[in-house]
């Protein structure tokens, strides 16, 4: 027992003195959320309905305990407390998403919600006051229902709708936000959301909608990227990317090698 203690103690000393365990300079700690996961306030002020609102209200059986994001973490009301917690945790950055239909209630850029603008301005300013960099996702799965009714991600026009939305976001928040993610996980949005019933919009059309969606989601990312590059980059010097959901496939047996390669190529978005 005694010797075991000594060994453990030595290991501990070795561990805490080992320089290799230090995080490199500039390493940043952060936390991440998505609007639908945390905001609640699903019908607050003039916010428009989105596809997750519709999905959980119309198909409560999809969620095991029938819970919804109607209130969620109530971050629409409790954002000041969120910022305090992020600060207490010592976060360097906080990744959050903007709810498209909170900013543009009908999905289109011809009507901007004042309350939506205020909410995100307060959140961004509050984070920066605590020295926490906001990293903002434009689209984390919550398409305005109005746009879904027009075909959503399978309608080629969405590339322009998303571009218009992105321009509104960049022009209002780009002075303070320097890290942007255009779209979170195209493969989840398209392969799951359009090929199965388990995620909004639950389209279940694996032969057609999935492919159209993947195409127009990627073109929408490109559109937003080019808009930032042409209209905002020189002024604001921010960076943009998308967040991929990556998977890797290994063949079960040598005959499955080609299949595995097809799967790897397919999942790349």
Ligand X SMILES: *[C@@H]1O[C@H](CO)[C@@H](O)[C@H](O)[C@H]1NC(C)=O
Residues that bind ligand X (CB under 6 A): 43, 70
Question: From start to end of the chain, where are the E strands?
Answer: 30-32, 93-97, 133-139, 179-184, 239-243
In the bound state with ligand X, the residue whose beta carbon lies nearer, of 43 and 171, is 43
Tell me the closest approach of the beta carbon of residue 246 to ligand X, in angstroms: 36
Tell me the closest approach of the beta carbon of residue 71 to ligand X, in angstroms: 7
Using left for φ > 0, alpha for ψ between -120 and 50, and beta otherwise, residue 40 falls in left
Tell me the closest approach of the beta carbon of residue 170 to ligand X, in angstroms: 31
SS (H, E, C) 32-62: ECCHHHHCCCCCCCCCCCEHHHHHHHHCHHH
In the bound state with ligand X, the residue whose beta carbon lies nearer, of 70 and 261, is 70
Q: Rounded distance, CA 60 to CA 223, Å? A: 35
Q: Rounded distance, CA 242 to CA 244, Å? A: 6
Tell me the closest approach of the beta carbon of residue 58 to ligand X, in angstroms: 14
Using left for φ > 0, alpha for ψ between -120 and 50, and beta otherwise, residue 134 falls in beta
Tell me the closest approach of the beta carbon of residue 240 to ligand X, in angstroms: 34
In the bound state with ligand X, the residue whose beta carbon lies nearer, of 46 and 256, is 46
In the bound state with ligand X, the residue whose beta carbon lies nearer, of 10 and 43, is 43
In the bound state with ligand X, the residue whose beta carbon lies nearer, of 32 and 71, is 71
Tell me the closest approach of the beta carbon of residue 251 to ligand X, in angstroms: 48
Tokens of 135: 């990293």
Q: Rounded distance, CA 47 to CA 107, Å? A: 10
In the bound state with ligand X, the residue whose beta carbon lies nearer, of 70 and 84, is 70
| CA distance readout (Å), 200 to 41, 53, 98, 129, 145 | 19, 9, 17, 35, 10
Tell me the closest approach of the beta carbon of residue 42 to ligand X, in angstroms: 6
What b-and-e string marks burial along 39-57, b requiring 16 or more CB atoms within 10 Å of the CB? bbbbeeeebbbbbbbbbbe
Could you tell me which of 74, 178, 181, 165 has the C-alpha nearest to residue 134? 178
In the bound state with ligand X, the residue whose beta carbon lies nearer, of 95 and 102, is 102
Comparing every residue's Cβ against ligand X, the nearest one is: 43
Residues 160 and 223 sit within 8 Å (Cβ to Cβ): yes
């Amino acid at each position: 027992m005694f010797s075991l203690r000594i060994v453990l103690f030595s290991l501990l000393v070795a561990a805490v003195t080992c320089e290799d365990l230090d995080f490199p300079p500039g390493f940043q700690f952060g936390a991440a959320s998505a609007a639908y996961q945390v905001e609640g306030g699903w019908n607050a002020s003039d916010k428009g309905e989105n596809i997750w609102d519709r999905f959980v209200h119309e198909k409560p059986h999809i969620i095991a305990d029938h819970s919804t994001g109607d209130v969620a973490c109530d971050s629409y009301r409790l954002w000041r407390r969120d910022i305090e917690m992020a600060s207490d945790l010592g976060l360097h950055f906080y990744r959050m998403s903007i709810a498209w239909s909170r900013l543009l209630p009908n999905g289109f850029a011809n009507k901007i919600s004042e309350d939506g603008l205020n909410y995100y301005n307060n959140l961004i300013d509050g984070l920066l006051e605590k020295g926490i960099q906001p990293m903002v996702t434009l689209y984390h799965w919550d398409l305005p229902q109005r746009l879904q009714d027009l075909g959503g991600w399978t309608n080629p026009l969405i590339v322009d709708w998303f571009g218009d939305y992105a321009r509104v976001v960049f022009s209002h928040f780009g002075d303070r936000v320097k890290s942007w993610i255009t779209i979170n996980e195209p493969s989840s949005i398209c392969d799951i959301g359009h090929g199965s019933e388990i995620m909004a919009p639950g389209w279940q059309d694996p032969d057609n909608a999935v492919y159209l969606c993947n195409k127009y989601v990627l073109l929408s990312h490109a559109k937003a990227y080019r808009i930032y590059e042409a209209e905002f980059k020189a002024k604001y010097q921010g960076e943009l990317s998308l967040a991929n959901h990556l998977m890797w496939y290994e063949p079960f047996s040598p005959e499955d090698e080609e299949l595995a390669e097809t799967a790897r190529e397919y999942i790349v978005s």
